[in-house]
Structure 1
Amino acid sequence: MKFNESEESSRPTGENSRTKVPNVVTRSTADGKDRRCRLINGYVGAAITQRIVNQALRSVDESKSPMERLSDRKLEIFRMIGEGLTSGAIANRLLLSSHTIDTHRENLKRKLELKNSGELSRAAVQWVLENG
């Protein structure tokens, strides 16, 4: 992640402090293109700053397999799909709406580069059989 030097400023940092972040952040995507993002207001807490940096570093690490890059929540839902649970059953178990689970399923298909729900179910069942 690169910061535009002309737009960057900072304040003293500490556990409860807020950090002034650049108004524009440039980040390289997997296909090698730079993506510029404009931040609104420019101030975020220290915990959020760390989370943003960690997230950016994770997205750059292309050496990990798609499964290793899944969040804990997505992996939990993927496991439940592999156990044969429906979106409604997963939603009830996790106290979420079925629409939220359907969104997670769509994101899983995109992240794992699967074409349809059948491929997602097959991959999930195979993963559960191999990993318990």
Structure 2
Amino acid sequence: MSNKSISIVIADDHTIVRQGLMKLLEEEKGIHVVGEAKDGREAVKKVMELTPDIVIMDIAMPELNGIEATRQIKQAGAESKIIILSMHDHSRYIRELLGLGVSGYLLKNSASRDIVKAVTSAIKGVTYLSPSISTRVIEDWLVMNKQSQEEELYNTLSNREREVFQMMVEGSSTKKIADALCLSPSTIKSHRSNIMEKLKMDNLSQLIQYAIQLGIIDIHI
């Protein structure tokens, strides 16, 4: 590791996970956690403010998930390297995130040494994939030559529509979405209408089922 301290922002909606990662990482010489975020929107804000070397990003977070947060960070031109640390190993996630240029993808059951190795690899410009991710899933990403109809429909949504879509299926009202995105309620209603039309759906129940199918939201029992 170089003499320069590696700065890290941790984005995860579970406080205990953030605290555990912070303790683990700061035990390593030359690594310093400079910020935490409890959702994707806060993660984007912290990256823009703190310009860390590394972002350790969960996927399933409220309001703005880790995939869309990663997309926004990359589109903003931030130089921070992004490492995904998630409990999910869906091939769709891996395909999309590697396509966005993340520097690592680890499962949350990874050994602590794997997390540290992913950080040091990212600094060197090397992509690190968790050993727990099966060869089959990686090969699915490498050889995939078509997407499902459901994913094709989702990909027609703009970045803003994806934000609105996630908040809709999470149960946020039009006013809450408008306030969170600093837009007018009428603009949100327009986005909702466009989302319904693009996804060829008629009601919120259908949207929720679709979001569960894509893995945008989880079912909590």
| Same fold at TM > 0.5 | no
TM-score, normalization by structure 2: 0.28
Q: Which has the larger radius of gyration?
A: 1
TM-score, normalization by structure 1: 0.44
